[in-house]
Amino acid sequence: MKFNLYLIFFGALMFTGCTTVSYQSHSPAGIAKLADYPIPIYTPETRIPRPCEVIGTLSINAGKFTMFGGSSDKEVKKVMQQAREKGADAVKFISIDKPDFANPNYRMTVNLLRYSDIWETVAISKREFQAYLDANRQNLDPIEGVWFSGGSISPHSLGIMRNKSKAGREFVGIILDATNPVWQTGTKKIDIHRGLQTGSYILTYYLDDFAWREIPIILGHKKQFAFTVQNADGEDTIIAYTKK
C-alpha cells in the first residue's frame, strides 16, 4: 500500500549518511507478515482506525548530513522489514527531527503497532452461505447474495446476508474469497442498512487499513453497483460489484 507521506520522509532523508537503528520491545512480537501484506504507515497526527498496542519502538539515526549520504528509500525499507519481522499490523512515525547546529543527524522514532481488538467475522463457508441463500430464496432482499469485485482493486467475492447483531445494521458483507491477505474468509468487509428511498442502501465500507467510508447506493433489482472511494493517498478508486 502506497502512502503520500513516503514523499515527506524520502525528502527529509535525501542527504543523510549511514544509519543506525535501535529497537525497544514493549510486547512479544507476532507472526511475521508476508512480503505482500499491506502494512499501513501513519504520520504523527493521523488517527488510526482501530485500537492498537505498541509492539516496539524503532529509533533511527540516519547519519551525518552529507550530499553523498545513503538512500532514503533504504531507511523506509529497514522500517518496513522490521515491521514485517515483528508481525506489525501498522507503523506510526512518532517524531522526525531534522539536523540542526546542535545535532547534524536526522532522528526518527517509529512505533510498530498491533491491532488490539478482534475484527468481526462470520463463521460460514461458501457452501453454508449458498445453503442460506437456497433456504431463504423466497424472502431474500435484493442486496443479499454473492457479489464479485475485480478491476482496480484486489479481486474478491462477498456474501451479503441479513445480520442485525450490530446496532443500526441490517445486512453484513463478508469475504468469501480474496487475493488480499488482509481479508481472510469470513471477515466483515461492509456493514449495510437501508436508505430512506426504496431500493437504496447505506454502506459502511472498510478499506485495507480498516478506515471506513459511508457510501449511499441505489440498487433496486439491478445486478450491479459501483462507487468511488478515496484511499489513503487521496486518490479516487472506482469499486464495482457484480452479482453472481
Of the residues 94, 115, 136, which one is the last residue of a structural domain?
A: 115
Residues 148, 74 within the same domain: no
Give residue 127's pLDDT: 94
Indicate whether 92 belongs to any domain: yes
Indicate whether 121 belongs to any domain: no
Residues 130, 196 within the same domain: yes
Of the two residues 65 and 84, the one the predictor is more confident about is 84
Residues 140, 228 within the same domain: yes
In this structure, what CATH number is given to the domain that contains residue 207? 2.40.128
Residues 83, 9 within the same domain: yes
Give the pLDDT confidence of 179-234 residue by residue, as tens digits.
999 999 999 999 999 999 999 999 999 999 999 999 999 997 889 999 999 876 77
With a cut of 70, say whether residue 7 has pLDDT above it. Answer: no
In which domain, by residue range, is 180 found?
A: 126-243
Residues 101, 151 within the same domain: no
Give residue 175's pLDDT: 98
> Which residues on neighbouring strands pair with residue 52, listed in sequence order?
115
Residues 50, 11 within the same domain: yes
- Judged by average pLDDT, the poorest of 58-72, 81-95, 221-235 is 58-72
24's grid cell: 525497544
Backbone angles phi, psi at 77, to 5 degrees: -60, -35
Of the residues 73, 95, 115, which one is the last residue of a structural domain?
A: 115
Alpha-carbon span 8 to 46, nearest angstrom:
14
Residues 99, 163 within the same domain: no
* Contact residues for 114 (Cβ-Cβ < 8 A; gap 6+): 27, 30, 52, 53, 54, 55, 87, 88, 89
Output the pTM of the full model. Answer: 0.83
Residues 45, 147 within the same domain: no
Residues 212, 107 within the same domain: no
* Contact residues for 199 (Cβ-Cβ < 8 A; gap 6+): 142, 218, 219, 220, 221
3-state secondary structure of 204: strand
Give the pLDDT confidence of 36-56 residue by residue, as tens digits.
899 999 999 999 999 999 999
Sheet holding 52-64, edge to edge: 20-25, 52-64, 105-115, 90-97, 41-42
Of the residues 83, 115, 147, which one is the last residue of a structural domain?
A: 115
* Contact residues for 135 (Cβ-Cβ < 8 A; gap 6+): none
